[in-house]
Structures are given as structure tokens and as C-alpha cells.
Structure 1
């Protein structure tokens, strides 16, 4: 599936999803978000896809929300602005949730600037590989806004509360090496090796049991909000499902055959 604003290519079980509005550094419009939602929903259900890489075309990963769209929204009748904003936020949160809850590993391959919503979407993925030319900025404060793409949730879990406050309150830009030091990026590589690195890692992460990956990720995503007993209980239920999976049965038989 390809659209003019979102491209997807699947090869050897790895789906590379590319934000494709390079002339605007892939700033997100409402139409672009709708296309991305459709691609993510299809990818989530596609059993041929084992892992996902999200990247941007051109020099930027994603410059955040489209500012011209913000200006248009301010021109709406005063009585409509709040509800229009609430409705749009539901779409934003749905997009981020699709990335965060994707039942397979996800990697953000950050090729350039990831600002505002772009930085949030990168952290909605399980892992972040950054080009040496990448940068990150939670720049919402410069537009009189708060992070609305999950940054208030994801960033403190990556870097701790004081550092998250510093980045959000200042809106300052950090380069790839500082992102690696802070834990925002998991790996940094040369620009020409970015997709190769991300794809290779995605293949490694997605090579295991699809059922075990999906169930384990679902529990891990909730583990900071649950007690140990709740994690154990969900783990017991998930393991019972894994016991019945074809991947588990095949792996046990293969191991026993090899042992014999």
C-alpha cells in the first residue's frame, strides 16, 4: 500500500513506513495522519510483517504538526475551537497508540530533525536508531502548547522526570550524541547506514514467535502502571496462550530432536 503522503515497503518480513512530505520536513497534516492511521492499522494485522521501521523522507524525520494548519484552526468560530481540538486530539492519540501498541517490534529510524509530534512518535516506537545528523526537540512550548503526541508519557520513562521537564520546559534541541547519552536514542549510526542498521535490528527482533512477542510487549507496555502481582497474573494468562501456539510446539520438538 502506498499513498502520496505515506509509503510502505515490505521485504523479508520488515515493513518500512516512510513519512513522505519532504518539502515540509514531513510535518503532519490531517490528511497525512489519516493515511498513516490506515497504514498502521493494516500493518498491525498483516501476518507477513514481523517488525516495523518508521522513518522520514528527505532531510527530516518529522517536524511536528503543520503550523499552517494551526493557523487555519485558530480562524474557526470561537465556539468550535475547543471541540475541534478535542476531536483532532483523538486522532493524534489513536495514531500514537497504534505505534505504541503495535503487536510486533517497532523501530524509529530518525534520519533528521524530530520535533514536537515527530519526537513523540519516535518515542512511541519500541526503539530509536538515530542518524548522526538527527536531532530531537520537544518544541511545543515555543507554540504555547504542551506535548500532545505522548511525550508527557514516553519521555519521562526514557530519561527520568527532571530531564523530561528540562527538555519540555525549554523546548531545546538536542543532537544525536546527547540523545544517545540521555537514553532517547538507543543507537546512533552514520546517515548512509541508518536504514540498513534499523532493518537488521528489526529482523533480529522480529524473528521470534509472533504470539510471544505480541503478548510480552503488551504486558511490558503496562508494567510501570501495574503491581508485581498484576504483571504475574497477566504473564500467567499470556504463557497459557503461548503453550498452545504452533511456534512453541515446533520449537520444543526441534530442540528435542536436536538433543536426541
Structure 2
């Protein structure tokens, strides 16, 4: 029996999603992407899940797109290559969008090489925690293609435009220390502590109101493209929703009760 290509475990409100194709350094095949999408949809819909940790099985985080799949696409009839490629891109973008717009905190626990689509997938998360074995490369240029997993959007926002161009134009490998210096990686830890530290960080991030977190994340992720007026307007609408939330009511009542007890 074939093992699942995506492993999803949930403990104490924290989901850990593991890319589970270690023999291929977790390269993303079409079948694996389908399982990935289903797992992300489940995490997004489950209110009991407060945060998500994404990692890879074995020595690599994700080696990018599956080269065998690239070969099959090239062998298709000439008149079908473009449409087949377009259709595949819709699936890639759907998966990356689900990850990026997840209405709860997402941490990439990068345990090894994150290449091409793998590097973009890490960037689609809110935070990146990396072990000493982690590395990043936007290697698309070596395959004669462009970053299609969001790297052209996410990377400049982390490192600036000129540095993003350098990394994408050259496809060079970035070790974990340089990645920390550039701002690609938020925190570094040991390989032995990686998953535990990521889960502990996720638990810390998930302590706040799930309603407020989801609304705040959605506004922040659009803030670079929005005017101040738009951000204020979105914030006003979000605050109106928060005023009606159970979390807000309970926190206010608890504060008032504590104040009354001290009088």
C-alpha cells in the first residue's frame, strides 16, 4: 500500500502538516499537491485548529516541482502543452493561495533544502523557523522557467527588490546563516529542536482571539498594496466584527470582574 504523501497530525489545537515523500526530497508531484490542497482545506475549516506547522519528512523540506512531471508535460502533443501547463498552474496557485491566506498562523519548519517551489512554499507561510541544515534556492532559472509559487511576490517583501532579483536571477544557494541575515528566515534552531520549537511558537501565536488573528492577518497581508485609508477602513470593519465576538465579550467581562475584585 502506498503511504500518504501528506501527513497531517493535530495535537492540542496545533496542526503539523508534513510533506511525506522523503525519497524524492518531498518534491511536489500532482498527486501530492492534491493531498496538500485537501489537508490545507481541512486545517482552514477546522475551528479547533488554532495554528499550523509545515515541515518535510527526511533530509529535505521540499525539492520543488517534480522533474518527472515536467518530463511528462514536455512529451504531451504540442497543441496541448500550453493548456496543460495553464491547468497545472491553477492547481499550484490554488495550493499556494490556501497556504498564504490560511486564517490562522502558519510556521514553516524548514529542516533541509527548500528549492524552487519549496522555497516559495516556505515564503507563503507567516514565519520561517529553520534548522542548521536548512538552505534556500530559487532554482527556477536553472530549468528555464520563472518562480511560479509566489516567490516573485513574497521574496521582495522579505529581502527587498534588488536582493530578490539577485537570488532569482542567479538561482544560487543560500545557507541558513545568510538566510537569517537577509530576513528570509525569522528564527534558527537545532535540527533536534526544530519541530518542538515550531510547535511551541505556534502555540504561543495561537493564544489570542482566533477571530482577531484571522482578520488582522488578512489586512496585514494586503497592507503593502493598500493605501492608509483602505487599511483604516478594513480595520474599522474588522473591529466591528470583533466587538460581536465571544472572545472579546469574555475578555472584557473577565477584566471587569478582576477590577471589581480588587476594589
Q: Runs of 5+ in structure 1 lacking a partner? A: none
Q: Which residue of 1 is the match for residue 154 of structure 2?
A: 154
User: Equivalent residue for 1:117?
Assistant: 117
Query: Which ranges of structure 2 fall in alignment gaps of 5 or more residues?
Result: none
1:204 to 2:190 alignment: no
Q: CA deviation at 1:250?
A: 0.3
For residues 258 and 195 of structure 1, the distance between their equivalents in structure 2, rounded to whole angstroms, comes to 37
Per-residue CA shift, 1:159-185, capped at 9, x if unaligned?
000000000000000111110000000
Task: Summarize the alignment of residues 1-260 of structure 1 with structure 2, pairs less than 5 Å apart.
Answer: 4-260=4-260
Deviations 1:63-90 (A, max 9, x none): 0001111011100011110111011000
- Say what the alpha-carbon RMSD is for the aligned residues: 0.6
Find the aligned partners of 1:184 and 1:220 in 2 and give their Cα distance.
18
User: In 1, distance between residues paired with 2:178 and 2:56?
Assistant: 21
Cα shift at 1:20: 0.1
How many residues end up aligned between the 2 structures?
A: 258
SS of 1:156's partner is helix
CA distance in 1, matches of 2:131, 2:14: 19
Q: What is the TM-score with the length of structure 2 in the denominator? A: 0.97
**TM-score, normalization: structure 1?**
0.99
> What's the CA shift string for 1:176-231, capped at 9, x where partnerless?
11100000000000100000110011001011111000000000010000100000
Distance in 2 of aligned mates of 1:9 and 1:239: 33
Aligned-partner Cα distance in 2 for 1:189–1:38: 30
| C-alpha distance after superposition, 1:7-36 (max 9, x if no partner) | 011001100000000000000000000000
